[in-house]
Amino acid sequence: MDIDKIKAFLVLAKVKNFSLAADELYISQPALSKQIQSLEQDLKVPLFNRTKKSTYLTVYGEYFLGYANNILANYANAKEDIKEIENLERGTLRFGATNFIGVYLVPEILAKFRQLYPGITLGMTINSSKNILALLHAYRLEFILLSDYIAVDKERFAIRPWCTDYLKVIVGQQSKFFKRKTIRLEELDAEVFITKDKDASLYKFFQSKLAGAGFSLSHPLFISQQEAIKQAVMHNLGFSIMSPVAVELEEKMGLIRTLDITGHPLQREINVVYEKSWHLTPAAREFFKLLPLVP
């Protein structure tokens, strides 16, 4: 059932004359008759009683009249809402991010976006890479932000790099390395390495990168939460490896020192991942402009 048929029905019901209705709709009378007949075929009932002088609604037509008005009104409202969404006056942007990205990298972007488009409702889910990928698979998020070492189905999803995150060794005030600016991995082999648990993607990333560089990971202390890892480092339980962005405040306060890794720099790409077959919302497209993304 198309909107032109509904409009034709409502105009004919109002003026009760095919010729007058056709003039008001700027179509020919045969074209109007065809639309009405098609609508009656769709509904499988006659909507008008036709006489030589006038045209009247049948009982079915009277019953359908209220629904037709609602259909046309809802269609007009939908067009207006869609226009507002397209113009970024309203709408919703739902996306996901892993803990580090969501806590330390995204808030600045969100603030800029909110300033530009205050009518858009923002919803960011911060969770493990496994969980936000599951939400993306279930079409509950429009896109997600995650590190490049997370396996993603490249046939189904578009993967666009956003930025490079350079990882550093972090130590606390009481560490013998605190006054250093650089460090070699072999110097840390006997130290306690504070890291996320063995099932975490980040730990597997460290395994693949550090073991190949001669670092054995033989003295781990597993802590599942990043803020707790920072606290453990500050209490001199060992060292960790993370983005300097995550400890920027603590370093300014003199509680933590970041050290460049000599000979074996560690870095990861932060990617935006979304369904290839989806039409991105105007809000998502504008959000991407603020990142900005590599084509």
Instruction: Judge residue 19's burial from the number of C-beta atoms within 10 Å of its C-beta, 0-12 exposed, 13-18 middle, 19 or more buried.
Output: exposed
Strands 120-126 and 91-97: parallel
Count of the separate structural domains present in the chain: 3
Domain presence at residue 62: yes
pLDDT single digits (tens) 221-265: 999 888 999 999 999 999 999 999 999 999 999 999 999 998 888
Question: Do residues 254 and 175 share a domain?
Answer: yes
Domain presence at residue 33: yes
Question: Do residues 148 and 118 share a domain?
Answer: yes
Question: Do residues 138 and 279 share a domain?
Answer: yes
What type of residue sits at position 131? N
CATH code (residue 256): 3.40.190.10
Question: Do residues 151 and 112 share a domain?
Answer: yes
Domain that holds residue 115: 91-163+269-289
Which pLDDT band holds residue 163 (cuts at 50, 70, 90)? very high
Which pLDDT band holds residue 271 (cuts at 50, 70, 90)? very high
Asked if 193 contacts 240 with a C-beta cutoff of 8 angstroms, the reply is: yes
Question: Residue 216 pairs with which residues in a beta bridge?
Answer: none
Question: Residue 125 pairs with which residues in a beta bridge?
Answer: 96
Alpha-helical segments (H) within the chain = 3-15, 18-25, 29-43, 59-86, 99-100, 106-116, 129-137, 201-210, 226-234, 248-252, 282-289
Q: Which residues contact 128 (CB under 8 A, 6 or more apart)?
A: 98, 99, 200
- The pLDDT value recorded for residue 294 is 59
CATH code (residue 53): 1.10.10.10
Q: State whether the Cα torsion 225-227-230-235 is positive or negative.
A: negative
Question: Do residues 274 and 211 share a domain?
Answer: no
Question: Do residues 157 and 176 share a domain?
Answer: no
In the chain, % helix, strand, coil (3-state, to 5) comes to: 45, 25, 30
Question: Do residues 56 and 82 share a domain?
Answer: yes
pLDDT single digits (tens) 58-89: 999 999 999 998 888 888 777 777 877 777 88
| Residue closest to 248 by CA, chosen among 156, 191, 132, 165 | 165
Question: Do residues 97 and 69 share a domain?
Answer: no
Residue matched to tokens 């550090």: 210
| Residue closest to 147 by CA, chosen among 203, 77, 218, 70 | 203
How much is the mean pLDDT over the chain?
A: 89
Q: Which of 17-21, 212-216, 269-273, 288-292 has the highest mean pLDDT?
A: 269-273
Domain presence at residue 294: no
Question: Do residues 284 and 149 share a domain?
Answer: yes
Domain presence at residue 295: no
Angle 97-101-104 (CA atoms, 0-180°, nearest 5)? 135
Question: Do residues 256 and 176 share a domain?
Answer: yes
Alpha-carbon gap, residue 127 to 130, rounded angstroms: 8
Q: Reduced to 3 states, what is the DSSP secondary structure of residue 262?
A: strand
What is the number of other CB atoms lying within 10 angstroms of the CB of residue 158? 17
pLDDT single digits (tens) 189-212: 888 999 988 888 888 888 887 766
